[in-house]
Structure 1
């Protein structure tokens, strides 16, 4: 983090990168991702748009910095006694961090930050798994699965709450009507769940599936993911 500089007489204050990112997140909460432009951010900061490009070459660079800052708010409870509890806590903390900002999941998606907050979160997840006895390959794939699941879930959660062009949020009645009007008896039986806005329950159910799958993977060789040819992975790695 850089410290604010004192402007010389007759010159505008130099932009502070950390303050710029914080202001961008504030503006995101006000106007959403679509309306967040470099020009609009520059106006909020009281500088010309060109001044932003000293810190951020493109808007994508800015979004990556915003994603990195969001993960600075990830705080997982250290009270869980076992690896499964700690893993659940980390997934929930990531979801909370993304939900804390309007369009937070859309900002985070595809940024691939390598900043300290992002790497610290990844280190925590992989550390929990390796310390529990999972191999490096399984720990790495689990990290990707956990992040991708949480991101995808939160994208859908925030999209469902976002107003459409008519100003109203998504109407679950459209799905209900479409299913009931067609030959979809199995879907019709599950419509109450499919149209439920209880995203906490949806998230916890999927998280439990992942954790229980990991328990079985950890328990022994009788349960092996059919999509993974571990021999091929070893051959690829070489001696």
Structure 2
């Protein structure tokens, strides 16, 4: 009589979770976050929809895994930089680049609380650089959160503008018209900067302001 191997209980293998996460990121790029459903993902992976809940019990859990995957290698560019301030800048740029690398990447990342090595490693590197710059633990954490929120929010605005498509010029024209009635003189004077912003330039300016007090 051949003995049967006992069935393994608990969470599915990590490799399977990674496969589902990768498929979810591909589907995200193809169709966007609003169209990403567990049913569509199950079809893409080739399993029943109920099977996915063995890997990710909720969509939030799936989004958290996707956010963790997005940050893979995000800290690598800063690891060899000696100057702590430059390391902070490089990490912030890497986060923005990572989020912009996926359609709706910033929307996926915002609000997640991943505890994987990519996310925690990035946070540790950012906090470490801020501590080396001379900040105490509390100030370093607060500054790190400011940098994270700035990079995420900036990426959200960038991707929203990109995805506005043909609606963007219409919105800009309406804004220009609305500020010409004399009630908003400061906005009218700066309208070219208001409606023709260079996102990369604005991001760098924001980083400089956030890190201005670092040595």
TM-score calculated relative to the size of structure 2: 0.87
Name the SS of the counterpart of 1:76 in structure 2.
Answer: helix
Deviation at 1:78, TM superposition (A): 4.3
| Aligned match of 1:168 | 166
SS in 1 for 2:168: coil
Equivalent residues of 2:88, 2:126 under 8 A apart: yes
Q: What is the Cα deviation at residue 191 of structure 1?
A: 1.1
Q: Specify the SS of the correspondent of 1:149.
A: helix
- Corresponding residue of 1:210: 210
Q: Which has the higher helix share?
A: 2
Q: Which position in structure 1 is the counterpart of 2:45?
A: 45
Matches within 5 A, 1:211-226: 211-215=211-215
User: Structure 2 CA distance, aligned partners of 1:160 and 1:194?
Assistant: 13
Partner of 2:116: 115
Q: Secondary structure at the match of 1:102?
A: coil
Aligned match of 1:72: 72
Q: Deviations over 1:159-192 (max 9, x none)?
A: 01113xxx62422222212112341110111111
- 1:122-144 Cα offsets, whole Å, 9 max, x none, are 00001111122210010010111
The aligned runs of 1:58-207 (5 Å cut-off) are 58-74=58-74, 75-78=76-79, 80-163=81-164, 168-171=166-169, 172-207=172-207
Contact 1:28 1:102 in 2 (8 A): yes
Q: CA deviation at 1:77?
A: 3.8
Q: Report the number of matched residues.
A: 199
- Segments of structure 1 that go 5 or more residues without pairing to the other structure are 1-13, 216-239
Deviation at 1:208, TM superposition (A): 0.5
Q: CA RMSD in A?
A: 1.6
Preserved CA contact (<8 Å) 2:85 2:133:
no
Q: Which secondary structure does the structure 2 equivalent of 1:72 belong to?
A: coil
Residues in 2 aligned to 1:204 and 1:49: alpha-carbon distance in whole angstroms = 43
Q: Which residue of 2 aligns with 1:54?
A: 54
What's the CA shift string for 1:75-100, capped at 9, x where partnerless?
43445442211110000000000000
8 Å Cα contact 2:72/2:118 also seen in 1? yes
Q: What is the CA distance between 1:29 and its match in structure 2? A: 0.2
